[in-house]
């Protein structure tokens, strides 16, 4: 495409929502449980709810209902499609709020070119929504916003009805009992394609030794069965207790619910400052302080894990060099210790260049070699060829952006898809030349642990 036709396409896309009106109204309320607000939407907004809490627990977002949905099934261009549509929608905002901005929440699939049939039946390649009711908890403050996006210009009655519903949702959340979210209990489990998984690691290490690629992340899935339909609220509640030091996210797509507690930030943008996290290289927690320290020190000194980590640092540094000024990257990794696992961790930051946006960074960073590999395109092809699953939204960017362009995306690992009476759990690991199928298999069990405990699916051969 030449640049002239490109810019006219872009202009058309940017005026797509001309004629729409995007009404917002925000009130400050007494702080309430975000999960109780999520649960309050169960009857009226099931299938259209979203949940997010950052690692530091300083920002929580709950969305109920869809004021507007943005999706894309384009293999190429899905990041830019969502970016341009969001910009176009934001131009129609009628009454700017200052306390909080309207938020768009959602995610992208891991690999739109993977055409294996899968359980991800309700998730397009990109799926975002502006919630009708938006709860934001920020520090000590709580705000509830109503969003109405419409082509009709006489929407007072509709808005009045939304105000009534908002008051009911707030009341229900404020008076509800939080400790009723029982732990699910799995009645059966299945390791999906275990032999294929083990074999794929052998194939990948052989290819790495032949110097055709350097690193490839390979994942596998478990399936749990239950005798009744799982509650998204209970699942979120349980996993946040099992792994509190994480981003907590949940995204409903009709009767399917994708959620998780991930330690990995893909990218955050706040006031033109960009932050990312290199997270790769793993070892379990020790049972005693001494053992834990010993394992951590061994991880910091281990060439295999340091190698896995360095590919991620190099790639994220290059992206930051391209999109930011004053990119800063510590020379040595630190340990990130969470409930079941310790990781090598290097934070990266920089100042976003003029014109660059959060979606540009998401596109450039996804997938980092913590979930894809090095070189990126060859690794993606190998994952498509050798990995026995279609990842759907596992290992992909999930997060939010506001009308000013601030926002944050996590890498959706340590996650599961709930589908009626079934749950699919996913975990993988970075394969380098000296990986072995058994040690990678063991590493996936450590990564499955918090989700298995949350869903009552501990296996007898797993501690
Ligand atoms: C692929 C996963 O973890 C990635 C993130 C941190 C550490 C990793 C590792 O040590 O292999 C993986 O790259 C997963 O949790 O499913
Ligand atoms: Mg690893």
Q: Name the burial class of residue 271, with classes exposed (0-12), middle (13-18) and buried (19+) by CB atoms within 10 angstroms of its CB.
A: exposed
pLDDT (tens place) for every residue of the chain, 463 residues total: 344 444 556 666 778 898 999 999 999 999 899 999 999 999 999 999 999 999 999 999 999 999 999 999 988 899 999 999 999 999 999 987 778 999 999 999 999 999 999 999 999 999 999 999 999 999 899 999 999 999 987 788 999 999 999 999 999 999 987 667 888 999 999 999 999 999 999 999 999 999 999 999 999 999 999 999 999 999 999 999 999 999 999 999 999 999 999 999 999 999 999 999 999 999 999 999 999 999 999 999 999 999 999 999 999 999 999 999 999 999 999 999 999 999 999 999 999 999 999 999 999 999 999 999 999 999 999 999 999 999 999 999 999 999 999 999 999 999 999 999 999 999 999 999 999 999 999 999 999 999 999 999 876 544 3
Rounded Cα gap, residues 303 and 297, in angstroms: 12
For the chain, the distance separating the N- and C-terminal CA atoms, rounded to the nearest angstrom, is: 56
Q: Specify whether 215 is catalytic.
A: yes
**Any ligand 1 atom below 6 A from CB of 280:** yes
Most distant CA atoms of the chain, gap in Å: 68
Residue 156 is predicted with a pLDDT of: 87
Rounded Cα gap, residues 327 and 320, in angstroms: 6
Q: Is the CB of residue 52 less than 8 Å from the CB of residue 105?
A: yes
Q: Specify whether 421 is catalytic.
A: no
The superfamily (CATH) of domain 189-454 is: Anthranilate synthase (3.60.120.10)
Rounded Cα gap, residues 215 and 325, in angstroms: 28
DSSP character string of 322-355: HHEEEEE--SS-EEEE-SSEEEEEEEEEEEEPTT
Q: Which of 39, 119, 264, 308 is catalytic?
A: 264
Atom of ligand 1 nearest to the CA of 305: 10
Residue 141, C-beta contacts closer than 8 angstroms, at least 6 positions apart:
28, 31, 99
Q: State how far the alpha carbon of 334 is from the alpha carbons of 221, 301, 302, 440, in Å.
A: 29, 11, 13, 22
Residue 463 is predicted with a pLDDT of: 39
Pocket test for ligand 1, best of 313, 395, 413, 440 (most atoms within 8 A of CB): 413
| Residue found under tokens 């630190």 | 334
371 C-alpha vs ligand 1 centroid, how far in Å? 7
| Closest to 207 (Cα-Cα) out of 366, 426, 381, 370 | 381
Residue 178 is predicted with a pLDDT of: 63
**Any ligand 1 atom below 6 A from CB of 283:** no
Rounded Cα gap, residues 371 and 215, in angstroms: 10
Residue 100 is predicted with a pLDDT of: 93
Residue 4 is predicted with a pLDDT of: 43
Q: Is 99 helix (H, G, I), strand (E, B) or coil?
A: coil
429 C-alpha vs ligand 1 centroid, how far in Å? 5
Q: Which helix (H) or strand (E) holds 199?
A: helix 194-209
Total length of the chain = 463
**Any ligand 1 atom below 6 A from CB of 428:** yes
- ipTM, two decimals, is 0.99
**Any ligand 1 atom below 6 A from CB of 281:** yes
The DSSP secondary-structure symbol of 97 reads -
Rounded Cα gap, residues 100 and 28, in angstroms: 10
Domain ranges of the chain: 3-180, 189-454
Residue 179 is predicted with a pLDDT of: 62
């Amino acid at each position: 495409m030449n640049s002239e036709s490109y810019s006219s396409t872009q202009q058309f896309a940017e005026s797509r929502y001309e004629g729409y009106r995007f009404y917002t109204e925000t009130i400050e309320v007494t702080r309430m449980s975000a999960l109780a607000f999520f649960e309050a939407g169960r009857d009226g907004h099931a299938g259209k709810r979203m949940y997010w809490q950052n690692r530091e627990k300083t920002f929580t977002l709950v969305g109920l209902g869809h004021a507007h949905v943005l999706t894309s099934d384009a293999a190429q261009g899905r990041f830019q499609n969502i970016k341009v549509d969001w910009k176009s929608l934001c131009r129609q905002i009628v009454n700017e709020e200052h306390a909080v901005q309207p938020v768009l929440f959602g995610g992208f699939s891991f690999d739109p070119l993977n055409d294996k049939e899968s359980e991800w039946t309700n998730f397009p390649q990109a799926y975002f929504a502006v919630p009708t009711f938006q709860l934001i908890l920020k520090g000590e403050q709580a705000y509830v916003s109503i969003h109405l996006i419409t082509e009709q210009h006489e929407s007072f009655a509709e808005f009045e009805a939304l105000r009534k519903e908002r008051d009911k949702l707030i009341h229900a959340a404020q008076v509800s009992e939080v400790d009723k979210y029982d732990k699910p209990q799995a009645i059966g489990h299945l390791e999906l394609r275990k032999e294929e998984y083990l074999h794929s690691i052998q194939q990948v290490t052989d290819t790495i030794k032949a110097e055709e690629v350097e690193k490839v992340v390979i994942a596998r899935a478990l399936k749990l069965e239950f005798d009744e339909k799982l509650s998204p609220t209970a699942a979120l509640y349980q996993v946040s207790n099992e792994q509190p030091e994480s981003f907590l996210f949940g995204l409903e797509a009709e009767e399917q619910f994708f959620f998780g507690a991930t330690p990995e930030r893909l990218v955050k943008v706040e006031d033109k400052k960009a932050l990312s996290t290199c997270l790769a290289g793993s070892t379990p927690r020790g049972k005693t302080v001494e053992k834990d320290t010993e394992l951590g020190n061994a991880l910091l000194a281990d060439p295999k894990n340091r190698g896995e980590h360095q590919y991620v640092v190099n790639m994220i540094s290059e992206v930051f060099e391209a999109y930011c000024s004053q990119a800063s990257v510590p020379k040595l990794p630190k340990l990130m210790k969470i409930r079941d696992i310790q990781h090598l961790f290097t934070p990266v930051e920089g100042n976003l260049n003029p014109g660059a946006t959060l979606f540009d960074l998401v596109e450039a960073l996804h997938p980092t070699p913590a979930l894809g590999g090095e070189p990126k395109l060859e690794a993606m092809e190998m994952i498509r060829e050798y990995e026995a699953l279609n990842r759907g939204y596992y290992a992909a960017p999930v997060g939010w952006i506001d009308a000013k362009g601030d926002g944050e995306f996590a890498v959706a690992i340590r996650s599961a898809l709930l589908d009626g009476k079934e749950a699919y759990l996913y975990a993988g690991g970075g394969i380098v030349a000296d990986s072995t199928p058994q040690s990678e298999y063991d590493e996936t069990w450590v990564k499955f642990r918090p989700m298995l405990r949350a869903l009552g699916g501990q296996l007898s051969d797993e501690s």
